[in-house]
Amino acid sequence: MGVTAVNQRQRIDGSSLSRIRFNVGEPAKSSAGWRINGFPARLLIWSPEEWEHLEARPIDAQYHPFGVWCALRLE
């Protein structure tokens, strides 16, 4: 399955879903973080299996060629 097929299948056209705030919990002790313009930042990564089971998917997530879904979050 190519990137285009996955993106077309996962496309969300409702504007109400684009404003959902995701509670990603506490960062794992083994996670790494950095700052962007002074704000703490994290990169969230979901496996294809985790992505399929999400009740609400972030509208700004992107499919990476390595086969995972990613979203950048400033905290």
**CA atoms of 47 and 8, how far apart (whole Å):** 18
Q: Is 69 exposed, middle or buried (0-12, 13-18, 19+ CB in 10 A)?
A: buried
20 assigned to some structural domain: no
Q: How does residue 24 score in pLDDT terms, banded at 50, 70 and 90? A: low
Q: Could you give the number of structural domains in the chain?
A: 1
Alpha-helix runs per DSSP H in the chain: 3-10, 48-53
How high is the pLDDT of residue 15?
41
Q: What per-residue confidence (pLDDT) applies to 4?
A: 40
Structure tokens at 29: 């002790």
Residues 44-70 have a mean pLDDT of 93
Spatial distance between the Cα atoms of 61 and 63, rounded to a whole number of angstroms: 7
Confidence class for position 3, pLDDT limits 50, 70, 90? very low
Query: Looking at the predicted structure, is the pLDDT value of residue 63 above 60?
Result: yes
* Domain boundaries, position 58: 1-12+40-75
Residue 28 DSSP code: P
Residue 5, in any domain of the structure:
yes
